[in-house]
Amino acid sequence: MNKQAEVAVAMRGITKQFPGVVALDDVTLQVRRGEVHAICGENGAGKSTLMKILSGVHQPDAGELEIAGQSVQFHSTRDAENAGVAIIHQELELVEELTVAANVFLGREPRTRFGFLNDAIAKRKAQELLGLLDASISPEEMTSGLRVGDQQLVEIAKALSLQASIIVMDEPTSALTDAETERLERTIATLRLQGCTILYISHKMDEVFRLADRITILRDGRHVCTVNKTETTASEVTGWMVGREISEHRFRSQQTVGKCLLEVKDLCVASQDSSQSVQLHNVSFRVHAGEVLGIAGLMGAGRTEVLEAIFGASNSQWQGTISLGGQAVSFAHPSDACKAGLVMVPEDRKRLGIFLNLNVTENISICSLFHAIRNGLLSKKAEEGIVAKPMNQIGIKTPSLTASISELSGGNQQKCIISRWLLTKPHVLLLDDPTRGIDVGAKAELYELIDTLCQSGLAVVLTSSELPELLTLSDRIIVMAEGRVTAEFSRDEANEKKIMTAATLA
């Protein structure tokens, strides 16, 4: 009996099917009370689906679920909340136009005797919870004005207000700075002390190994194994996740740096709509053929704005000098940049990159359609011919050439977008956070791709929020903070601490 009470969550034989795909196949999971249990797996492994079943979003096709030894069935998230399960999604679900307190109690607002909203009680209770989490946020602040890290704490406060004993966190640090990550880790420790059980989905090995007690690995909808942290290593876990060993590839071992292909001098952008965009002040750097220049910086430092200004995709006017291959250029439209041999792969491929209504071939060929014209009209055969080469070279996995692009994994989608631009035979490639939301296996492939491209003489400019990635790939790193370049390091000089210091310098 005692042993049963120790188990906070038990999921047995869970199977879930969606039209055309088996998301979970006979998965078993046991989480002990009070532990931090990490769940690791590639994208599509089924982690999110499993957690959605636990939190009542989905109902399993087969299998059973036990909370604290009692068999339960959740028909809605409300049922799960009543049983003490709260989930903090990767995409935060706060209403930006409401205050913090309103968000914490959304759907369960405290009321006065007459049924009206009782803001005073909401404010007080929210303040208590935020205090518990060591968050310096006022409950009356507008959620839209909060940084992502603070928004996340609001979500955790919401979970606490539910008196959840089981909290699920889905990739919580994907949008956090290091400082905020540290704060989150302290919060998790606090929650543990209070007796909460925490399920932590992540594929960042360093975090997992810092926080978790036990680790469960899922692959392709199946349970691979559950191990104690102390009994395994990061590379073993990663190996289980992808089903093969990932070797620590030594990138950038061959560097043959050529002449300067892109030079930016004193780039200044003063945007009209001051609310969102960052102002750039005297940004200068150079990139040479065969070189990877990494741009580091916090969110909001202006990295994307620099790339957009160079590519001709910026909404604001810029001043300064941009030289491509020695000649001063000023691109008014991305098509001009493309013709001159400079291309950009934007961040957030779903919003800015892929065309969901077009298939894989069409997504890749979109910039090279003129080469597919036969007898005055577009020829499907010619299109497929053009697209075949990069698909093979880069290794895009797709069910068929005419499959919808939404069927591809994130990594393969990103490869499609890169191929799209590579077909235009560029000299300079700008990559804006290219590995975001891509699983470990695909990331490694992208690193290799970037390496190969450099070796063939391209100049690559790369922004990333992951410092280890930048350190792995870049030949030189410049650091930006609040629209300015604050530091420049060569590959040998750079380390995480120096970069973080430069990035947080006002």
Partner 1 sequence: MKLWSPFPLHALRRWWPSQNEWSLLVAIVLAIVLTALVDSNHTYFFRPFESLRDIARNSAMLGIFSLGAAVVIIAGGIDLSSGSMIALSGTVCSVTMLALAPTEMMAFKPVGSAVVFIAVLASLLTGFFVGTLHTWLITVVRLPPFIATLATLVGLRSFARALCESSTAVLTPTKSALINVADPAFKVVRDNVWFSVVTFLVLAFFTWLMLSRTVLGRHLKALGGNEQAARLAGIHTENVKWFAYCFGAMTAALAGLFYIANESVAAPVNQGRGHELNAIAAAVVGGCSLSGGVGTVQGTVLGAFFLRVVIDAVSKIIKTGADVYEGLIVGVVVVLAVTFAQGVNGLRHDRRILPGSLGLCTIPVLALLAGSLASMTTGAASGVAAGFTAFIALVALRIWENRSHDKKAQVSNSQ
Q: Please say which residue, 37 or 58, places its beta carbon nearer to partner 1.
A: 58
CB of 203 to partner 1, least distance (A): 27
CB of 382 to partner 1, least distance (A): 11
Residue 333 in contact with partner 1, rule: CB under 8 A:
yes
User: What is the per-residue binding string for partner 1 in 376-395, x denoting contact by CB under 8 A?
Assistant: -xx-x---------------
End-to-end Cα separation, the chain, in angstroms: 58
Tell which one of 256, 335, 400, 501 touches partner 1 (CB under 8 A).
335
Beta bridge partners of 478: 295, 488
How is residue 75 annotated by DSSP? S
CB of 405 to partner 1, least distance (A): 10
How is residue 245 annotated by DSSP? P
CB of 15 to partner 1, least distance (A): 9
Residue 338 in contact with partner 1, rule: CB under 8 A:
yes
Q: At which residue do the structure tokens 């945007």 appear?
A: 271
What does each C-alpha distance from 144 to 92, 97, 102, 136, 161 come to in angstroms? 12, 6, 13, 16, 21
Tell which one of 367, 382, 401, 500 touches partner 1 (CB under 8 A).
367
Query: Which pair of structure tokens corresponds to residue 105?
Result: 């109690």
Q: Please say which residue, 372 or 478, places its beta carbon nearer to partner 1.
A: 372
Which positions from 68 through 87 interact with partner 1, judged by CB under 8 A? 71, 73, 75
Residue 461 in contact with partner 1, rule: CB under 8 A:
no
User: What is the per-residue binding string for partner 1 in 392-431, x denoting contact by CB under 8 A?
Assistant: ----------------------------x-----------
Residue 354 in contact with partner 1, rule: CB under 8 A:
yes
Q: Which stretch, 35-43, 216-224, 228-236, 364-372, contacts partner 1 (CB under 8 A)?
A: 364-372
CB of 341 to partner 1, least distance (A): 12
Question: Which SS3 state, helix, strand or coil, does residue 220 take?
Answer: coil
Non-local (6+) Cβ contacts of 295 within 8 A are 303, 306, 461, 462, 463, 477, 478, 479, 480
Tell which one of 5, 13, 330, 385 touches partner 1 (CB under 8 A).
13
Query: Which pair of structure tokens corresponds to residue 84?
Result: 């003490």
For 296-316, give one letter per residue: b (16+ CB within 10 A) or e.
bbbebbbbbbbbbbbbbbbee
Residue 497 in contact with partner 1, rule: CB under 8 A:
no
CB of 377 to partner 1, least distance (A): 4
CB of 38 to partner 1, least distance (A): 28
For residues 192 and 200, is the Cβ–Cβ distance under 8 A?
no
Residue 366 in contact with partner 1, rule: CB under 8 A:
yes
Q: Which stretch, 166-174, 215-223, 294-302, 375-383, contacts partner 1 (CB under 8 A)?
A: 375-383
CB of 107 to partner 1, least distance (A): 15
For 78-116, give one letter per residue: b (16+ CB within 10 A) or e.
eebbebbbbbbbeebebeeeebbbbbbbeeeeeeeeeee
CB of 438 to partner 1, least distance (A): 18
Q: Please say which residue, 256 or 357, places its beta carbon nearer to partner 1.
A: 357
Residue 344 in contact with partner 1, rule: CB under 8 A:
yes
Residue 64 in contact with partner 1, rule: CB under 8 A:
yes
Query: Which pair of structure tokens corresponds to residue 399?
Result: 């069910």
Question: Which SS3 state, helix, strand or coil, does residue 479 take?
Answer: strand
Quickly list DSSP for 99-168: BHHHHHTTTS--B-TTS-B-HHHHHHHHHHHHHHTT----TTSBGGGS-HHHHHHHHHHHHHHTT-SEEE
Q: Which residues bind partner 1 (CB under 8 A)?
A: 13, 19, 59-64, 71, 73, 75, 311, 313, 333-335, 337-338, 344, 346, 351-358, 362, 366-367, 369-370, 373, 377-378, 380, 420
